[in-house]
Amino acid sequence: MKKKLHPSHLWIPTLLRIICGLILVYASLDKIGHAATLMHIIEAYQVLPVALVPLAAVIIPWLEFFTGLLLCLGVYWRGALLIFCTLMIVYIFALASDLIRGIELNCGCFSIRSTDMISWWTVLRDLGFLGLGLFTLKSPKTYLSFDPSDSSSKS
């Protein structure tokens, strides 16, 4: 017998889902339309083959934007959260890899004009974002959402 969640318990994952979405939308806004600048930032991380850097500079901002939008709207939120968590894992790997190798560079995380250098605090921040995503992913459903995989739609 499944334990029924009290409706108030769904507000926390709903809020976290929207926060995850807003993080991605905010991160994407300054990058969209600035692929050339973003390309230099991505190249500086030295984690992708040079041939894939231009493609990443075009795709990543739009992937962040549309994934964030889906999370904010609650449409296919589980799939969007999987993408969110995957992006965080990739970002954590890239940041940690450069820090371990002693590469100093501009994060480019929320602004391509930022002068913030990467640090272990940046890794910790992204680990926190990943934790938000994973916690929310464990929720059986959220308010204000549509996802065929929600528990309520499996009646």
Ranges of each domain in the chain: 10-141
Amino acid in the structure at residue 59: I
Predicted local distance difference test score (pLDDT) of residue 150: 65
Predicted local distance difference test score (pLDDT) of residue 55: 96
* Residue 40 φ/ψ region, left for φ over 0, alpha for ψ in the -120 to 50 degree band, beta for the rest: alpha
Whole-prediction pTM: 0.86
pLDDT tier at 6 (50, 70, 90 boundaries)?
Answer: low
Q: Give pLDDT tens digits for 73-87.
A: 999 999 999 999 999
Q: Give pLDDT tens digits for 24-77.
A: 999 999 999 999 999 999 999 999 999 999 999 999 999 999 999 999 999 999
Q: What is the mean pLDDT of residues 8-35?
A: 91
Is the pLDDT reported for residue 5 higher than 70? no
In Å, what is the CA distance from 70 to each residue of 6, 51, 117, 151? Answer: 25, 30, 30, 19
| Average pLDDT value for the chain | 89
Nearest to 37 by CA among 91, 89, 114: 114
Q: What is the DSSP string of 35-95?
A: HHHHHHHHHHH--S-GGGHHHHHHHHHHHHHHHHHHHHHTBTHHHHHHHHHHHHHHHHHHH
